[in-house]
Structure 1
């Protein structure tokens, strides 16, 4: 572009002097045209360069803005991560505390379960020993009138009424003495057991003076056995209870004579003292609700 500016005045001088040949003039004119073409090309390149510079400047501003935006976003994410990490550590600590409490509760529950199992095992063992001792002490004849069973941790000694009482009465007969003495000895040996004597009848109405119905008969029979155990065989009366269930707890159908005979019975029910189990239940670990 600088060469073109110098060339134009020189050409004008030559033309004014008139000393230039046509050939020389044509050569100069050609050089001028070439310079002019080069100038146009350089101008075009210059303009394009200016456009690119403007674009680069715009892109640079846009990149700077995006960089700033990304830096802000990165800062926000780092702050969120820090909060999340702090919350996680807090939750982990709380979780460890909760897990520790849960483990303690599980251990306490396992300990209590073991106590219950041990108590049940002990009770079952005592019941079995009591049953074996009683059945070994009974004669073959007595075994025909006495039924001994262990049901759900309770010992049931069922005595036939024709062995215990005089016919149609609630008075204890002579035949029952030896059997009751053996039962009384077992009861005395097992001091941690309570004794319930329960009278039962068939469904035939009673027609005895001063006995209104089978409720009275069953209760009087149970009371007679309780008093015999206390007065004649020395069983502690604090351990004894008497109950009558009348005809309403049958073990067989009253439609046959055999069924009625089975229903006319007195049961001596030997159970572990309930207060021992209540004390054990009171020792159960309490659950903590957080």
Structure 2
């Protein structure tokens, strides 16, 4: 640009010596117009350079954003893959739990069905028709309650002859079910008792239970199936406030318990598994 200005001035000097004042004025005006155009072009050029710099900065920023977006997209794809994997694992875990719950329900249903069949069979097999003998089924267990007067003389723990006939039927049922347990549970009233070597009602109730157990053994029941238990007067059926009520409380209860441990163990194992997996 400086070179152009020098040439212009030189041309004016040369021409000024060769041209008239009118021509000189025209050339000078033309030079001014050219200079103005040059200045305008310079301003526009500087403006364009500034715009280009701004545009380059925007392009660089956008390129950074694109790079960040690509990186984020890659991360999202990784997270999406992990999320899908986690969902699959969760669904698989739910399927396993559903299977365990189904097995648990099947076990409970099977246990209930077997128990119902067992207690129904027992009630029919015992089949004793006597107002002093009650047969009840509670929670899958058969309770045969025998009044004290049918088993023992007053204050005695020696089993009566008639009682042995009753116990023979019970023994027949228990012997046919080798996987059953038979607990003999003796109860007394609250009248203080002390006779011979027996100190109190605890001693009397336990001695009566063991006497019945021995009769069942003599009738062929496996000793490993038998349990002797004395409850003294602490589990009365009614208040011990009359002779009639005390007679009701003096009783021996034979509890026939089917061994369904395999079902309970399976249920407990499934419950433990479900509990462990939920933690």
TM-score, normalising length: structure 2: 0.81
Structure 1: stretches of 5+ with no match in the other structure: 15-28
Matched, 1:239 2:229: no
The CA distance in 2 between the partners of 1:261 and 1:51, in whole Å, is 126
Of the candidates 237, 242, 254, which is equivalent to residue 256 of structure 1? 242
Of the candidates 108, 128, 132, which is equivalent to residue 138 of structure 1? 128
The CA distance in 2 between the partners of 1:106 and 1:74, in whole Å, is 46
Number of matched pairs: 265
How far apart are residue 129 of structure 1 and its match? Answer: 2.7
Of the candidates 219, 230, 239, which is equivalent to residue 217 of structure 2? 230
Of the candidates 61, 71, 81, which is equivalent to residue 53 of structure 2? 61
After superposition, the Cα gap between the structure-2 partners of 1:227 and 1:48, relative to the gap in structure 1 and judged at 3 Å, is same
Of the candidates 233, 257, 260, which is equivalent to residue 271 of structure 1? 257
Structure 2: stretches of 5+ with no match in the other structure: 1-7
How far apart are residue 174 of structure 1 and its match? Answer: 2.4
Q: Deviations over 1:112-133 (max 9, x none)?
A: 3312321232112211332244
Task: Provide the secondary structure at the position in 2 that maps to 1:129.
Answer: helix
Task: Tell whether the 8 Å contact from 2:107 to 2:267 is kept in structure 1 after alignment.
Answer: no
How far apart are residue 280 of structure 1 and its match? Answer: 3.3
Task: Provide the secondary structure at the position in 2 that maps to 1:255.
Answer: coil
Matched, 1:206 2:206: no
Aligned to 1:167: 154
How far apart are residue 205 of structure 1 and its match? Answer: 0.6
Moved over 6 A (4+): 5-9, 38-42
Aligned to 1:12: 21
Aligned to 1:152: 139
Aligned to 1:26: none
TM-score, normalising length: structure 1: 0.78
Aligned to 2:4: none
Query: Residues 76-95 of structure 1 correspond to what in structure 2 (within 5 A)?
Result: 76-95=68-87
Task: Provide the secondary structure at the position in 1 that maps to 2:199.
Answer: coil
The CA distance in 2 between the partners of 1:46 and 1:178, in whole Å, is 138
Larger Rg: 1
**Higher RCO structure, 1 or 2 (CA under 8 Å, sep 6+):** 2
